[in-house]
């Protein structure tokens, strides 16, 4: 996979407990594809088309989806036209609204009972281009992009230093294991700092925030359970 980057416009707002920098969400709910510019363009187009097709097949308007997800209509238009890729939190909400598993949006048409991802060959994911990635601080590798009927979404996440903070909430649960560096996690009013070997598991319907806790990057294993359709 080539390692070029494509600038992706900031996604629309979703419901959250607190908001600081506009358009920013916590890392586990904030992801779009990052590969070669050409691959990203194809993925983004396919993603927007799949969301629009699923919506139209169900006879739903953008306003219907907005009321079900909390994603504003302007952001939904950008998603369907592939002007931006939605963060994972929004994909979870879109899947619920459209009665589709989130895996359909990440890897449509794939039906493998088992999938292997070798070291360094994860499907690269990020919401922003290089400049914003440096500012907001995350990039991802999907570790199971082709597993059929999966109930969990595993990622290797790199957290870069950032001052930005914003809480988020969505259906499901999240498990995080710290591989390198130090990470700040806040769920509700509880704040913890995790180091390599530490782990945290929480209900993601609770307002939560995850970020690098220092001026150096951190790497974590993050697994999302999105719940039933």
Residue 130 has pLDDT above 60, yes or no: no
- Measured CA to CA, the distance from residue 98 to residue 58 in angstroms comes to 8
pLDDT digits (tens, 9 = 90+) for 37-46: 333 334 444 6
Q: Kindly state the helix (H) or strand (E) to which residue 220 belongs, with its residue range.
A: strand 218-225
Greater confidence (129 vs 36) lies with 129
pLDDT digits (tens, 9 = 90+) for 160-176: 888 878 777 778 899 99
- Assign residue 130 a region: left if phi > 0, alpha if psi is -120 to 50, beta otherwise? alpha
Domains delineated in the chain: 36-106 (1.10.260.40), 123-225 (2.60.120.10)
What do you get for the CA distance between the two ends of the chain, in Å?
Answer: 31
What would the two tokens of residue 90 be? 């929004």
Nearest to 80 by CA among 27, 12, 136: 12
Q: Kindly state the helix (H) or strand (E) to which residue 65 belongs, with its residue range.
A: helix 62-69
Which pLDDT score is estimated for 119? 84
Q: What is the mean pLDDT of the chain?
A: 74
Mean pLDDT score, 17-35: 40
């Amino acid at each position: 996979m080539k390692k070029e980057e494509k600038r992706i416009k900031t996604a629309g707002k979703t419901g959250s407990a607190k908001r600081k920098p506009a358009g920013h969400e916590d890392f586990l709910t904030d992801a779009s594809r990052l590969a070669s510019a050409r691959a990203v363009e194809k993925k983004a187009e396919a993603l927007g088309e799949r969301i629009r097709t699923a919506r139209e097949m169900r006879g739903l308007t953008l306003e219907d989806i907005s009321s079900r997800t909390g994603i504003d209509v302007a952001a939904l238009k950008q998603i369907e036209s592939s002007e931006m890729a939605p963060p994972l939190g929004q994909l979870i909400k879109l899947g619920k609204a459209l009665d589709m598993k989130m895996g359909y949006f990440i890897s449509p048409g794939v039906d493998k009972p088992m999938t292997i991802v070798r070291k360094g060959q994860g499907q690269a994911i990020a919401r922003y281009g290089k400049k914003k990635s440096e500012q907001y601080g995350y990039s991802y590798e999907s570790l199971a992009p082709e597993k059929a009927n999966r109930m969990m979404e595993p990622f290797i996440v790199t957290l870069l230093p950032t001052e930005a903070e914003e809480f988020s909430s969505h259906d499901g649960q999240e498990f995080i294991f710290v591989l390198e560096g130090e990470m700040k996690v806040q769920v509700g009013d509880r704040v913890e700092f995790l180091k390599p070997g530490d782990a945290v598991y929480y209900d993601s319907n609770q307002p939560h925030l995850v970020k690098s806790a220092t001026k150096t990057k951190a790497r974590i294993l993050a697994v999302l359970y999105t719940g039933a359709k």
